[in-house]
Structures are given as C-alpha cells and as structure tokens.
Amino acid sequence: KSTSIQKSFMDALEQNRFVCFFIVQGNKNFHSNHTLTLRKRLALKFHSCITTFVVFCGDSDGEPLFCQGTGFTSFPFSTTLMSVLNITQLPSLVVLDTQTGRPIHSDAALALEWNDPHAVLDAWEQEQSGLSSTQKVVSVLTLQSNCTIS
C-alpha cells in the first residue's frame, strides 16, 4: 500500500502546483458541518487544480465514505507528518506549494472557503494569502485567523 501512496504523491507533484493535506478526525460520526462543507468545496470547486490527500487521525473506518466521490486520496497518519505539517488541531488543512516545498499561508482554508478558485490560485502563485484586505480584517475580528493585517 505504501508504494501506491508514494506513486499517488509523486503523481500529484507533477500534476498540480498545489497539494492539500486535509487532516480530519477518524470517527465517521464526528465530522462537523464545517468539515463537511470544506470537503464539498474542495471536491467540487478545487478538485481540478489542487490534489487533496485526506489524513485520518484515530479510527479510519469512515475513510472510504469520507473520500467517496471526491477524488481525494487517502494518506496514512503519522506523528512525523503531523509534526512536519505543524498540526495542532482537528480538522486542519495545509496546502503545500510543490514548487517551493513550503506551506501556503495559514489562512489557506479561509481562502478556499471564501473565494473563487482561480483568484485563490493566482494569489498563492504570487505568495499571497488568497484573502482580500477586508477578509483579513473580518477573519481576525471573528477570531478565525491569526494573520497579520498589512
């Protein structure tokens, strides 16, 4: 199985500039509305331009159902991965730029939720967060972000 995961990951690096790790709680009965909304948005709006890997923490019984019909690829949980991606809470979403190997801005999930896919990708290609100045202010005021407003 690890060979197929490695192949999927290498294919993703060649296929799309951005790779998303969507880290979720493994229990199939414990997906918040927010997690399910983000899942749907990633699958419908961003599938053609971002490769999404789902990492289940804990029980992975719900994995097939969560990934079904989305085009997402399952990625095995490891404490090393969680550390490298700096995961401190669930769910989490980390988008990596395959050209630089670095994570996109910590507000990637908000950019994915609030904006048009092409606008988000254009911003990320310019190493920007993907949020407008107004969205940055709203995200800080509503405690959804820790971004610096500049």
Nearest to 112 by CA among 59, 56, 38: 38
The reported pLDDT for the residue numbered 147 is: 47
The reported pLDDT for the residue numbered 148 is: 43
Residues 76-133: tens digit of each pLDDT: 888 888 899 888 888 888 999 988 888 988 888 888 888 889 999 999 999 888 888 8
The reported pLDDT for the residue numbered 13 is: 73
Residue with tokens 């988000």: 120
Q: CA quadruple 4, 34, 134, 87: dihedral positive or negative?
A: negative
When mean pLDDT is compared across 2-16, 107-121, 129-143, the lowest value belongs to 2-16
pTM of the entire predicted model: 0.82
Residue 61 clears pLDDT 70, i.e. is over it:
no
| Residue 91 preceded by cis peptide, ω within 30 | yes
Per the prediction, the chain carries an average pLDDT of 82
Residue 150 clears pLDDT 50, i.e. is over it:
no
- The separation between CA 138 and the C-alpha centre of its own chain, rounded to angstroms, equals 21
Residue 146 clears pLDDT 60, i.e. is over it:
no
Mean per-residue pLDDT, 14-28: 83
Residue with tokens 């918040």: 32
* Residue 93 DSSP one-character state: E
Query: What three-state secondary structure class fits 62?
Result: coil
Mean per-residue pLDDT, 55-73: 81
Mean per-residue pLDDT, 16-29: 82
